[in-house]
Amino acid sequence: MKRVNFIKIFTAVSFFLTASVMFSQTAFYGGRTEITVNNPKYTSDDLIITNSPIFKLGAVAGRTFDNIDLSLEIAGLIGFERLQWDQKYEGVWSKTMDASNMSVEIPLAVKKRFSIENVPVKPMITAGYYIKLPLSRFTEKDPEVQSKPLKSYEVEHGLNVGAGVNLFSYFELGITYRYIVSDTWGVGRWLDPSTQQKNQIIVSLAVLFNK
């Protein structure tokens, strides 16, 4: 996996924070939940690996530059995911692993909203970068495979672009396309990298409050 260049990330965030003094600002905070809708599945003659939807819940905070309705935000999300491994032995399919994992995700985003006169709905577009860190290895639930080692879950990072709507300045509903830069996610952790799914589609809902 390529090293995450934290110096570049820090420089970019510092630039936005420094430039923000030129604009009238409103701080905001709130909660956000996300779920993936295109979950990977690997299938062969004797092996099926299925990832269930990844559910995430956490908090978000940031600042809106009121003059241009542009926001810079950061979130902290706890993710829950599950994996099932089915394998064929002597022509008979059997579930050999049922595993779950938790992770923490830190996305940075720039968000632009577009006002419509006399309408409390604002279309929006967003782009950003995220880092996903493991809280634990996958935990095996099947007692028959407790002794089998699982590959350690590594740091994941990538890019997000999306669109959505802001409702009454309190709710945001969005859909995000995520490109995973690192080679650590999904069924590709156990298989040849060429089988790895490199994208996710994520649906999100946020409740926001101005400070």
CATH number at residue 90: 2.40.160.20
> What does the pLDDT read at residue 18?
62
Residue 206 and residue 187 in contact, taking contact as beta carbons nearer than 8 Å? no
Instruction: Look up the pTM and report it.
Output: 0.74
Residue 86, SS3 per DSSP: strand
| Banded model confidence at residue 67, pLDDT cuts 50, 70, 90 | confident
- Residue 123 inside a domain? The answer is yes
Residue 175's CB is within 10 A of a number of other CB atoms, namely 12
Total domains present in the chain: 1
- Residue 102 inside a domain? The answer is yes
pLDDT in tens, 71-108: 999 999 999 888 777 777 667 776 667 777 788 999 99
Which residues, at least 6 apart from 18, have a Cβ–Cβ distance to it below 8 Å? none
Domain span holding position 11: 6-210
Residue 144: left if φ>0, alpha if ψ -120 to 50, beta else—which one? alpha
187, 189, 184, 180: which is closest to 154 by C-alpha?
Answer: 184
